[in-house]
A and B are shown apart, each in its own frame.
Chain A
Amino acid sequence: MKRKITIRIRPLHLSLLMDVRPLVWLALLTLISGAVFVISVGIGEMYIPPGDVIAALTGQGSPADIMVINSLRLPRVLTALLVGMALAVAGAILQGVVRNPLASPDVIGITGGASVGAVACLTLLTGIGSQWVSVAALAGGALTTFLIYLLAWKKGVSPFRLILIGIGVNAAAVGLTSLLLIISPIHTTSQAMVWLTGSVYASSWETVWRTAAQVAVFLPLTLLSSRHLNAQELGESLATGLGSRVQLHRLLLVLYSVALAGIAVAAAGPIGFVGLMAPHIARMLTGPSQGQLLPVAAVTGALLVMVADLTARTAFSPLDLPAGLFTAVLGAPFLIVLLLKSERHV
């Protein structure tokens, strides 16, 4: 028998029965993330030792260190962290709702739709502020999901249909994005291409605060709803038996997932495969229960994107590559292993 502990939050009528193992993993991963964070902030063109990084973070380092860390590295690393969390949780929810381990916001077209919105904003309305790009990305993602949901509706939404329709809608989104790139001014095209691969290059504190605020709203909401996710994963008939109003909760959860994916895309472009990988890694570590899965997945996602960006900006210096490139390189072999191993879920 595994050791378990129970966490009760009475006012919310929420109780979580947690294994000790996931908690250990969560603590361990958080520790690793913290270390990667400090290293990531320290490494670059100018190496700053971890001690000095911590000194600078607490406001005591040399002014040069503080400048480099505060204006160049910190916003970037923090954006990577937040984006990773958002994408991972978005993916975990989708996989739960759709009951398919391959579902992730990039496969079923949510990020594709968000990209159309953002690229349309970048190309058709040059000169408007970057905050509108994220609004457009969110709107694009939401609209696309609504469309997918609508098209997949046939006396309820079957997960299979949702995925297939999503793939189709994604194809249309890719077409539209290319069209927009082709009719855009030349200099925006190259900017949009960098963005489309997923990059945290120009993240500012503004990006960080905005993303942090958005994540702070949706992450707790998702954690609260995660018990419905447990029911969802049992399958439709069983879930109904448990008294879960399946379609409603499914819709709500999908909405959270869209919001989180949209937030991530708005901040850093479509960084691929994080929404796919992070929940799986988390599931391997913790077992299937969503209550434990989500936090672990979030930390894993943050770790993935931070490492990817660290590699992307240091490995080919002076070139500063998009982080999305490296998540894809990691993601593909992962996907293959996944498909070969997971026959029960598909």
Chain B
Amino acid sequence: MKIIFIETEVEAVGPWRKWIGIGMASVLLFTVGCGGGGAADQSGDEKEQGKTRVVEHAMGKTVIKGTPERVVVLTNDGVDDALALGVKPVGAVQSWIGDPWYDFITDEMKGVEVVGEEVQPNLEKIAALKPDLIIGSKVRHEKIYDKLSAIAPTVYSDTVGHVWKENFKLYAKALNKEDQAQQQLKEWEQRIADFKESMGDDLDTKVSIVRFLPGLVRIHHNGFPDAVVQEVGLKRPQSQIKKAHSSEVTEERIPEMDGDVMFVLTMEEGDGKATKLKEEWMNKPLFKQLDVAQEGNVYEVNDVYWNLSGGIQAANKILDDLEKHLLDKSR
């Protein structure tokens, strides 16, 4: 079973909570920064195994002992990040699409227990795995925090999606893998710098992001792919710069999809519905009239990387796509 509501919006919280969020994020950055410094002499040290750490997160503070070995991950981005950090969970919620995992993680996830799905994980399955760390997200699992905490130390990100980088750092801290995280983020920064340099003046290319789901069409504003596109320095069409996560659109808003390039995401669940819808829309006269379509700058990309997985591996794969489609052009 899969439900597609993997996106969240940070604006869904009131203004006061936003400030709390910002405060929390800065505390988080602070702790991550401090932890990063101390982590250098910590790695691989056998004596450190028994040491307790305090991780501050969306629901408060959690004490974690040493390096967790039996980790249960309740978010898709958490799975992506954990694997990137070399941690194989003992249990995880199934991927939004795929049976039960995304193709690109299937090999690594062999033998990992499915604990239900991200919107409603099975608490007893989790308990039966006897984990020593549970990673979840407040936006999904706020109501069951107490129960999870009774099972094992639990760490929550505030939300998922455009805050992927903060989440990566948080998960790394909980997993006691901050060194690796630092390293990967450094590589990420380097890739961005290289990309910006290669793009040169073309960096002001306006990127339109359109997503087809079974039965509905979205123009993206402020989700995971948008955060990546923004970070690498690319621009967006004026009509797509909005605070909301995305807009569900009727055909009348096809003109708002125009841009210098368009990336088309299709969330295909396996029944062909989304693909059919995509083909219908892309063959509509209104769509064909778009400048971006007439100039042949519409690229179809993998929804798993661009939206569903949502961790650092996925972010790198988006950058792969951007390099592939935009760098060739600017040369």
Could you list which residues of chain A lie within 8 angstroms of chain B, going by C-beta atoms? 44-46, 67-68, 70-73, 126-127, 130, 185-191, 194, 201-202, 204, 313, 317-320
CB distance A67 to B127 under 8 Å?
Answer: yes
CB distance B5 to A186 under 8 Å?
Answer: yes
Report Cα–Cα, A22/B228, bound state, in Å.
68
B120 adjacent to chain A (CB < 8 Å): yes
CB distance B147 to A204 under 8 Å?
Answer: yes
B1 adjacent to chain A (CB < 8 Å): yes
Minimum CB–CB distance for A44 against chain B, Å: 4
CB distance A318 to B127 under 8 Å?
Answer: no
Report Cα–Cα, A275/B83, bound state, in Å.
49
User: 30 A-B contacts, Cβ less than 8 Å apart?
Assistant: A44-B124, A70-B150, A72-B123, A72-B127, A72-B150, A127-B13, A127-B14, A127-B17, A185-B8, A185-B12, A186-B7, A186-B8, A186-B9, A186-B245, A187-B7, A188-B12, A190-B5, A190-B119, A194-B119, A194-B120, A202-B143, A202-B144, A204-B147, A313-B124, A318-B114, A318-B115, A318-B125, A319-B117, A320-B116, A320-B120
| Set of chain B residues within 8 Å of A68, measured between Cβ atoms | 124, 127
| Set of chain B residues within 8 Å of A190, measured between Cβ atoms | 3, 5, 119
B282 adjacent to chain A (CB < 8 Å): no
Q: Which residue of B lies closest to A321 (CB)?
A: B120
| Set of chain B residues within 8 Å of A320, measured between Cβ atoms | 116, 120, 122-123
Top 4 nearest A-B pairs by Cβ distance? Answer: A45-B124, A71-B150, A202-B143, A318-B122
B146 adjacent to chain A (CB < 8 Å): yes
Q: Mark B8-24, 1 if CB is under 8 A from A, else 0.
A: 11001110010000000
| Set of chain A residues within 8 Å of B314, measured between Cβ atoms | none
B139 adjacent to chain A (CB < 8 Å): yes
B133 adjacent to chain A (CB < 8 Å): no
Minimum CB–CB distance for A210 against chain B, Å: 14
Of A70, A191, A202, A319, the contact of B122 (CB 8 Å cutoff) = A319
**New A-B contacts (16) at CB < 8 Å, excluding given A71-B147, A127-B17, A320-B122:** A67-B127, A67-B150, A67-B151, A68-B127, A71-B150, A71-B151, A186-B7, A187-B5, A189-B5, A202-B144, A202-B147, A317-B122, A318-B115, A319-B1, A319-B117, A320-B120
Q: Which residue of B lies closest to A68 (CB)?
A: B127
B34 adjacent to chain A (CB < 8 Å): no
| Set of chain B residues within 8 Å of A204, measured between Cβ atoms | 143, 146-147
Of B17, B117, B125, B127, the contact of A317 (CB 8 Å cutoff) = B125
Q: Which residue of B lies closest to A76 (CB)?
A: B123
Report Cα–Cα, A345/B3, bound state, in Å.
44
B220 adjacent to chain A (CB < 8 Å): no
CB-contacts of B8-51 with A (<8 A)? 8-9, 12-14, 17
CB distance A191 to B124 under 8 Å?
Answer: no
Report Cα–Cα, A184/B3, bound state, in Å.
16
Minimum CB–CB distance for B154 against chain A, Å: 12
Of A70, A72, A186, A202, the contact of B124 (CB 8 Å cutoff) = A72
| Set of chain B residues within 8 Å of A46, measured between Cβ atoms | 124, 127-128
Report Cα–Cα, A46/B17, bound state, in Å.
39
| Set of chain A residues within 8 Å of B245, measured between Cβ atoms | 186
| Set of chain A residues within 8 Å of B211, measured between Cβ atoms | none
Report Cα–Cα, A133/B37, bound state, in Å.
44
Report Cα–Cα, A313/B43, bound state, in Å.
42
Report Cα–Cα, A191/B143, bound state, in Å.
11
Q: Which residue of A lies closest to B139 (CB)?
A: A187
Report Cα–Cα, A47/B304, bound state, in Å.
37
B140 adjacent to chain A (CB < 8 Å): yes
| Set of chain A residues within 8 Å of B128, measured between Cβ atoms | 45-46
Minimum CB–CB distance for A57 against chain B, Å: 17
| Set of chain B residues within 8 Å of A313, measured between Cβ atoms | 124
Report Cα–Cα, A318/B13, bound state, in Å.
31
| Set of chain B residues within 8 Å of A194, measured between Cβ atoms | 119-120
Minimum CB–CB distance for B145 against chain A, Å: 10
| Set of chain B residues within 8 Å of A70, measured between Cβ atoms | 150
Q: Which residue of A lies closest to B159 (CB)?
A: A187
Minimum CB–CB distance for B20 against chain A, Å: 10
Of A72, A73, A191, A318, the contact of B119 (CB 8 Å cutoff) = A191
Minimum CB–CB distance for B76 against chain A, Å: 13
| Set of chain A residues within 8 Å of B17, measured between Cβ atoms | 127
Report Cα–Cα, A67/B120, bound state, in Å.
20
Q: Which residue of B lies closest to A44 (CB)?
A: B124
Q: Which residue of A lies closest to B148 (CB)?
A: A71
Q: Which residue of B lies closest to A70 (CB)?
A: B150
Minimum CB–CB distance for A255 against chain B, Å: 30
CB distance B146 to A71 under 8 Å?
Answer: yes
Report Cα–Cα, A72/B148, bound state, in Å.
9
Q: Mark B102-139, 1 if CB is under 8 A from A, else 0.
A: 00000000000011110110111101100000000001
Minimum CB–CB distance for A146 against chain B, Å: 30
CB distance A185 to B9 under 8 Å?
Answer: yes
Of B122, B140, B146, the contact of A187 (CB 8 Å cutoff) = B140
Minimum CB–CB distance for B123 against chain A, Å: 5
Q: Which residue of A lies closest to B117 (CB)?
A: A319
CB-contacts of B165-216 with A (<8 A)? none
| Set of chain B residues within 8 Å of A317, measured between Cβ atoms | 122, 125
| Set of chain A residues within 8 Å of B114, measured between Cβ atoms | 318
Q: Which residue of A lies closest to B245 (CB)?
A: A186
Report Cα–Cα, A68/B123, bound state, in Å.
9
| Set of chain B residues within 8 Å of A187, measured between Cβ atoms | 5, 7-8, 12, 119, 139-140
CB distance A45 to B125 under 8 Å?
Answer: yes
Minimum CB–CB distance for B129 against chain A, Å: 9
Report Cα–Cα, A320/B245, bound state, in Å.
29
| Set of chain A residues within 8 Å of B116, measured between Cβ atoms | 318-320
Most buried by A among B114, B120, B140, B151: B120
| Set of chain A residues within 8 Å of B9, measured between Cβ atoms | 185-186
Q: Which residue of B lies closest to A43 (CB)?
A: B124
| Set of chain A residues within 8 Å of B7, measured between Cβ atoms | 186-187
Minimum CB–CB distance for B248 against chain A, Å: 9
Minimum CB–CB distance for A79 against chain B, Å: 13
| Set of chain A residues within 8 Å of B115, measured between Cβ atoms | 318
Minimum CB–CB distance for B330 against chain A, Å: 35
CB distance A126 to B13 under 8 Å?
Answer: yes
